[in-house]
Amino acid sequence: MVDGGLRESSPLILIMTRPIVFFVDDEPNVLQAILRITRREQYQVATFDNPIKALAELAAKEVAVVVADQHMPGMSGTEFLEKVRIQYPSTVRMILSGDAEIGSVLSAINQGKIFHFIMKPCGDDDLKSAINEAVKQHCLISENERLADLTKRQNQELIALNTTLEKRVEQRTRKIKQKESQLKEALKGIISAVALTVETRDPYTAGHQTRVGELACAIAKEMGLSHDQTEGVRLAGVIHDLGKIYVPAEILNRPGKLTHIERELIHVHPQVGFDILKDIHFPWPIAKIVHQHHERMNGKGYPAGLSGEDILLEARIIAVADVVEAMSSHRPYRPAPGIALALEEISSNSGIFYDADVVKSCLKLFAENKITLKGWMG
Ligand SMILES: [Fe+2]
């Protein structure tokens, strides 16, 4: 009797690269015939005289094909193959039976989901051909499983890589934002330093630019401009008279009324400020705002005589803040007219010199005491 042994050798000396085929049949002469028929085939054959022993051996190695007899004591071939299907789904199952009764055939196919039904007796070539087909089927199943496993692993690697990349992008974005914030802070510091330099030459207007920046910022907020745009308005205000460094200090600080030529000289300061700032890439249109802060809504301002919405909103805001602050402060050639007169000036010229919406917001700020600026007079 052949019992759980490999043909011509024990299971321990199997060459693992060759597919393994199990035969389970309670008739020793059938198993011996099987061994003889498959002697020269490319797969290894192991035979078992009962299904329990075959199940125990299946747990120990990967088996490509299991061929079982239908009628065995204790467990039918169908029951045995059903267990194989559940525990080792990639093992291809075949049934070998002399029972041609249709019910038995259908039961074997349906329960065991077998690959092939072989009728006993069958020719040697038919048997070998059927086993070879089953081995090929197992190769296909194994290759599919290998590819599915590979795809799964590659997907997991891609997900991991994607997560890593997302984290890196997040870190890089955070660093860029930090740098951007640092640069903006540095820029504000430089603008304040330049503003201070200008005012050092013109002590009578010391603090003028800072106060214009603060008032313009408050108006921008009141008008509902974004935080970033409001910050741009404040910085442009702080530096709006930068071009006055071109005007001789004697003229800026000289008490008394200015001559026509002196006034013309002072009128150049928005252009000078623009020329100094135009090549600096601020995150806000600072140079243009500085250029336009003496333009008027009716086109009677300078230096370009722009009108209405051709003037940047930020410049229209600074124009109002500039006038209000200037009239609230003393000058070498006059005492401060005061905030009341300043507000009257912008109110009576609303829509003529000054943007009506800007004037409205500025008046509201003072009416509701929302603006209390240190250093203001009047
Ligand atoms: Fe100015």
Distance, CA 323 to ligand 1 centroid (Å)?
Answer: 9
Among the ranges given (5-9, 110-114, 163-167), the one the predictor scored with the smallest mean pLDDT: 5-9
Residue 4: the pLDDT is 45
Residue 268 pLDDT exceeds 80: yes
Q: Is residue 377 part of a domain?
A: no
Q: Is residue 157 part of a domain?
A: no
The answer on 215 and 132 residing in a single domain is no
The pLDDT tens digits of the residues spanning 314-353 come to 999 999 999 999 998 776 666 778 888 999 999 999 999 9
Residue 118 pLDDT exceeds 90: no
Q: How many other C-beta atoms can be found within 10 angstroms of the C-beta atom of residue 376?
A: 17
Q: 102: domain CATH number?
A: 3.40.50.2300
| Partners of 116 in beta bridges | 94
The answer on 256 and 127 residing in a single domain is no
Residue 204: the pLDDT is 63
Distance, CA 242 to ligand 1 centroid (Å)?
Answer: 8
Distance, CA 372 to ligand 1 centroid (Å)?
Answer: 22
Residue 139 pLDDT exceeds 70: yes
For the chain, the farthest-separated pair of C-alpha atoms sits apart, in whole angstroms, at 133
The answer on 133 and 33 residing in a single domain is yes
The answer on 98 and 232 residing in a single domain is no
The answer on 222 and 141 residing in a single domain is no
Share of the chain above pLDDT 70, in %: 90
Share of the chain above pLDDT 90, in %: 58
Cβ pair 199, 207 in contact under 8 A: yes
Residue 7 pLDDT exceeds 50: no
Distance, CA 367 to ligand 1 centroid (Å)?
Answer: 26
Residue 12 pLDDT exceeds 80: no
Q: How many other C-beta atoms can be found within 10 angstroms of the C-beta atom of residue 360?
A: 16
The answer on 355 and 221 residing in a single domain is yes
Phi, psi dihedral angles at 24 (to 5 degrees): -125, 115
The answer on 144 and 206 residing in a single domain is no
Q: Is residue 175 part of a domain?
A: no
Q: Highest mean pLDDT: which of 53-67, 98-112, 249-263, 329-343?
A: 53-67
Q: Is residue 378 part of a domain?
A: no
Distance, CA 361 to ligand 1 centroid (Å)?
Answer: 21
Residue 101: the pLDDT is 63
Q: Is residue 211 part of a domain?
A: yes
Residue 205: the pLDDT is 65
Give the model's confidence band at 119: pLDDT under 50 very low, under 70 low, under 90 confident, else very high. Answer: confident
The answer on 248 and 101 residing in a single domain is no
Distance, CA 220 to ligand 1 centroid (Å)?
Answer: 19
Distance, CA 181 to ligand 1 centroid (Å)?
Answer: 29
Q: Highest mean pLDDT: which of 68-72, 92-96, 338-342, 357-361?
A: 357-361
Rg of the Cα trace of the chain? 48
Distance, CA 240 to ligand 1 centroid (Å)?
Answer: 6
The residue that leads in pLDDT, 306 or 281, is 306
Distance, CA 185 to ligand 1 centroid (Å)?
Answer: 25
Distance, CA 365 to ligand 1 centroid (Å)?
Answer: 22
Residue 8: the pLDDT is 40
Q: 342: domain CATH number?
A: 1.10.3210.10
Q: Is residue 164 part of a domain?
A: no
Residue 225 pLDDT exceeds 80: yes
Distance, CA 348 to ligand 1 centroid (Å)?
Answer: 21
Cβ pair 84, 93 in contact under 8 A: yes
Domain of residue 50, residue span: 11-148
Q: Highest mean pLDDT: which of 35-39, 156-160, 334-338?
A: 156-160
CA dist 286 and 75 (Å) reads 92
The answer on 359 and 219 residing in a single domain is yes
Q: Is residue 173 part of a domain?
A: no
- Among 129, 148, 167, which residue terminates a domain? 148
Q: Is residue 1 part of a domain?
A: no
The pLDDT tens digits of the residues spanning 124-135 come to 898 899 999 999
**How many distinct structural domains can be found in the chain?**
2
Q: What is the mean pLDDT of the chain?
A: 87
Q: Highest mean pLDDT: which of 263-272, 280-289, 309-318, 320-329?
A: 309-318
First to last CA, the chain: 122
Distance, CA 318 to ligand 1 centroid (Å)?
Answer: 9
| CA-based nearest residue to 286, from 265, 302, 270, 297 | 270
Q: How many other C-beta atoms can be found within 10 angstroms of the C-beta atom of residue 93?
A: 24
Over residues 136-163, the mean pLDDT reads 93
Give the model's confidence band at 107: pLDDT under 50 very low, under 70 low, under 90 confident, else very high. Answer: confident
CA dist 96 and 130 (Å) reads 11
Distance, CA 239 to ligand 1 centroid (Å)?
Answer: 10
- Among 148, 166, 189, which residue terminates a domain? 148
Distance, CA 270 to ligand 1 centroid (Å)?
Answer: 7
- Among 125, 148, 171, which residue terminates a domain? 148
Distance, CA 252 to ligand 1 centroid (Å)?
Answer: 12
Give the model's confidence band at 13: pLDDT under 50 very low, under 70 low, under 90 confident, else very high. Answer: very low
Residues 6+ apart with CB under 8 A from 25: 31, 34, 47, 49, 68, 69, 72, 96
Distance, CA 190 to ligand 1 centroid (Å)?
Answer: 20
CA dist 319 and 90 (Å) reads 83
CA dist 291 and 236 (Å) reads 10
CA dist 216 and 97 (Å) reads 99
Among the ranges given (1-15, 118-132, 292-306, 338-352), the one the predictor scored with the smallest mean pLDDT: 1-15
Give the model's confidence band at 99: pLDDT under 50 very low, under 70 low, under 90 confident, else very high. Answer: low
The answer on 312 and 222 residing in a single domain is yes
Among the ranges given (220-234, 236-250, 348-362), the one the predictor scored with the smallest mean pLDDT: 236-250
The answer on 348 and 210 residing in a single domain is yes
The residue that leads in pLDDT, 307 or 376, is 307
